[in-house]
Amino acid sequence: MRFDVIGMRGPAAFEEIVSHFTSMGGDVVLLDPDMVAGREHALAAATHAERAFAEGTNRSKTLPTEIILYCAWERQIGKAMSKMRPKDGRDEYVAILMDVDDPHLDGIGMTRDDSIVEATEWKAERLGLRSCFLSPEEQAVENVAMVELQKV
């Protein structure tokens, strides 16, 4: 499976965005940009989730939900969904695209803005990423990997 991580902004509703990507034969996970500490955080979550399905260690029934579990560093689906779901009234999203060649964002009135994905000091503080040895993005990737240990 091919994963890509993009930031996007615009007026399209959550359900409209999901329908757009599924109609193209792909899939998407939409995340609250405040809860994503960089592209590698989201890609690590997608990679670990895909591996969990391949090895039969997945906790959820669908790959998108498994990705959210890893991205949120949570064991419980409800907590992960609440933490990672974009908040109502926001017009910014981090999208993990699955098997989507060209997002055609103009078709749903959205524009790409990858700066939304970047790790910032504000996000690091909000996510509790305070390592003096690792960057916030590196620490987020480490936290994704730690979800494996929580499964035991």
User: What are the structural domains of the chain?
Assistant: 3-150 (3.30.2380.10)
> 5 φ, ψ to 5°?
-120, 125
Helix (H) or strand (E) holding 130: none
pLDDT of amino acid 152: 53
Tell me the pTM.
0.91
CB–CB of 73/146 below 8 Å? yes
CA separation for the pair 152, 149 (Å, rounded): 6
User: Average pLDDT for residues 101-119, to the nearest whole number?
Assistant: 95
Each residue's pLDDT tens digit, 38-73: 999 999 999 999 999 999 999 999 999 999 999 999
pLDDT of amino acid 75: 86
CA separation for the pair 110, 100 (Å, rounded): 16
Q: Is the pLDDT of residue 1 over 80?
A: yes
pLDDT of amino acid 110: 97
Which amino acid is it at 63? Answer: L
Helix (H) or strand (E) holding 6: strand 3-9
132: Cβ contacts below 8 Å, ≥ 6 apart: none
User: Average pLDDT for residues 13-20, to the nearest whole number?
Assistant: 96
Q: Is 55 helix (H, G, I), strand (E, B) or coil?
A: helix
pLDDT of amino acid 97: 98
Nearest to 37 by CA among 82, 3, 74, 84: 84
Cα within 13 Å of Cα(11), Cβ side: 2
User: Average pLDDT for residues 130-151, to the nearest whole number?
Assistant: 80
